[in-house]
Amino acid sequence: MDEFIIFLKIGLTHVLDIHAYDHLLFLIALTVPYVAKDWKRIIILVSCFTLGHTISLFLSVFNIVTVQSKWVELLIPITIFITAFSNLILVGKSSKNGNISFIAGVTIFFGIIHGLGFSNYFNTILPGKPTEKLLPLLEFALGIEGAQIIVVIAVLILAFIVQNLLRFNKRDFTLIMSSFVIGVVVPLIIENPIWKK
């Protein structure tokens, strides 16, 4: 039980750590086009992200996939940028209410990329055989999922306050929040060490 709590907490803090805000930015960009009544769709997308994140850690634990961290550190802000930029393009269009398959597939892929960014650290905190890491990996995934739901609820509450009490419309809220996310991640992309040779 103690081990379960430890890895659950690691999963929670991995997402909720304000110093590692890339995960928070991705969740903001993923959530802002929706409202509370879309909660089932949002949970599906969040779970797809967790699935992708867990798949990449699984592949890393069994040494099936290894990626240089410099590439992952570039790809993570790019995935956030793409998610936020797609909000700007699709804002007010019915595609957000249509088929979820494409966006779910993209979200799984983005989860894989984000998971690769954590894979080296995850392997260092878990010594032993790969099979011994499977249960902690699932416990960690539960922490990730729980933390993501907390962030989604916070974004939906913020959306409710801004749209109902401050009288912003949904379109403006989506544009403002997505632009904010883009404003944070563009410097991360531009200043990535990979461009400096």
Question: pLDDT tens, 164-191?
Answer: 999 889 999 999 999 999 999 999 999 9
Mean local confidence (pLDDT), 139-160:
94
Instruction: Please state whether 40 falls in left (phi above 0), alpha (psi between -120 and 50) or beta.
Output: alpha
What's the count of helices (H) and strands (E) in the chain, helices before strands?
7, 0
pLDDT score for 197 = 66
Lowest mean pLDDT among 117-121, 133-137, 167-171, 191-195: 117-121
Task: Write the single-letter amino acid at 166.
Answer: L
pLDDT one-digit tens code per residue, 153-164:
999 999 999 999
pLDDT band at 1 (very low <50, low <70, confident <90, very high): low
pLDDT score for 20 = 80
Burial pattern 124-134, b for ≥16 Cβ within 10 A else e, equals eebeeeeeebe
pLDDT score for 131 = 85
User: What pTM value is reported for the model?
Assistant: 0.88
Q: Which residues contact 187 (CB under 8 A, 6 or more apart)?
A: none
**Mean of per-residue pLDDT scores for the chain:** 89
pLDDT score for 19 = 84
The tokens describing 161, both together, are 């306050």
